[in-house]
Chain A
Amino acid sequence: MAGESEGDLRLDARLRRLEEIVAALEGEGLELEDALELFEEGIGHVRAAREILERSELRIERLLEEDGRVVLEPMGRDPK
């Protein structure tokens, strides 16, 4: 479904993971080594999320059903 490549985690997944990481780091009972590992992972997500935000091409597709077959075709910003 997602148009991105396989390794490319979606923005919402990254942001959700970031929330978890921040909560864990700000909470209790974490070994320092684990904390450092989480921190590195978190910084990675921040960087990747920033890259997604920089994308400027809005992708638009048209959803159609033709003879019972569902078709998704790219379209421009002008719907006509």
Chain B
Amino acid sequence: MSWELFHAAELVAGGVGAGLPDPVVAGLRSASSGYAYSVSVVNALAREVLEGSLPPLWVAGEVTGWKRHTSGHCYFSLRDSAAQLRCVMFRSDAQRLPTDPEEGMEVLALGTLTIYERRGDYQLVVRELEGRGVGGLWRLAFERLRAKLEAEGLLSPERKRPLPPFPATVGVVTSPVGAALHDILHVIGRRAPWVRVVFCPAKVQGDGAAEDIARAIRLFGRTRAADVLIVGRGGGSTEDLWAFNEEVVARAIAESPIPVISAVGHEIDATIADLVADVRAPTPSAAAERAVPDRVALGRDLENVRSRLEAAVRWRVAERRKELGFQSDALVDAIRGVVRARRERLLRGVSKLEALSPLAALRRGYAVPLGADGRVLRRVDEFRSGMHLRLRLADGSVRGRLEDVQVERLTEVGDGWGV
């Protein structure tokens, strides 16, 4: 058996050749006649054969039993309907994964076949792992973080704060190299040159980028060095923009006491940073436009305010003048009313007086006899023949002498005259 193994090993290793171990050196001899190899030697041999015979491979399969060890290494298997392949992804490679794959997820793994000598397990050492389907692991990582932040309420529209309409200072977190800063300065310089720009450089891609962006956002928050914050970078691939999909950045934005405008390149869908930010702009230039008012429009607004001020004062003065006019009219009316009332009362008195006047009776044809002494003669006994009297009529009086007085009495009834 071991003889055969030796033989087989020799045959297989024939091409690999160079370091075929000497069984004597290995210190073992078979019971029968041939040499025997130690397990270690066999595994080393097998590993050498396996590693030397195949180039790195892309393997398609379904992930099962994914386990991320505390060391950072990841262990799992790939399988299809008929077979399984053990895989390992070491920390240095695994840490570049946006997230862990889900059980059963279809993936593509790039790796080399090897044997783990201590256990004699045959396995694929995976260097790269991609999810199949749209977005793959990136999409998965994105969706996982989004679901988590959503559950915490960090994405709700009520959390969005309004931007200050007229910021005095605009903070910028982006790379010191690249077009983003240049574009932002250009737009602010054109629209609102009185604004102060405070720039905090941050690494926006590669290892540690997310932490650096979060640090810069928090520095602004701590120092309140701006009224509004633009956080972003120009466009790039999903991987280039990945820092803006990481939780540290999302949390730094969510916790920022200063309103944040996200401005992450325009070639992809929203990033997590976009979802958490108070305002999402498609590019750094667009973010700058959202951040500051436009000088020309503001000038027009000011002109508008000035004319409104003038109109309001003019209207107020006119209003007061009109009020004054009303009141003086009312005064005149009141006086006229009093005069009119007096006149009417006077006229009423006059006509009453007229109705009572004896002249009215005279006008109706009556005459009043007056004695020589001017007294009114009221009774028949007061008339004597030969006496002088005067008759008062409506249009004057007549003097004369009574010649022959004949008295005819009427029956006296009470104080008046009865018939």
Contact = CB atoms under 8 A, between A and B. Distances in A.
Question: Do they bind each other?
Answer: yes
Contacts of A70: 219, 222-223, 225
Given A11-B168, A21-B309, A79-B199, A32 B317 contact: yes
Contacts of B310: 39
Contacts of A15: 165-166
Interface string A8-49: 001110010010011001100010100110010011001001
B313 interface: yes
A53 B219 CA distance: 29
Contacts of B308: 22, 25-26
Most-contacted residue by chain B among A12, A59, A63, A75 (CB, 10 A): A63
Interface in B188-211: 188-189, 193-201
Interface range for A: 35 or more
Given A1-B169, A2-B168, A63 B194 contact: no
Contacts, number: 117
A14 to B, nearest CB: 9
Interface residues of B, number: 45
Given A56-B193, A58-B195, A63 B169 contact: no
Nearest to A60: B197
Interface of B: 164-169, 171, 176-177, 181-182, 185, 188-189, 193-201, 216, 219-220, 222-225, 227, 295, 298-299, 302, 305-306, 308-310, 312-313, 316-317, 320
Interface of A: 1-3, 10-12, 15, 18, 21-22, 25-26, 30, 32, 35-36, 39, 42-43, 46, 49-50, 52-53, 55-65, 70, 72, 75, 77, 79-80
Given A1-B224, A43-B309, A53-B194, 6 more contacts: A12-B227, A70-B219, A70-B223, A75-B199, A77-B189, A79-B181
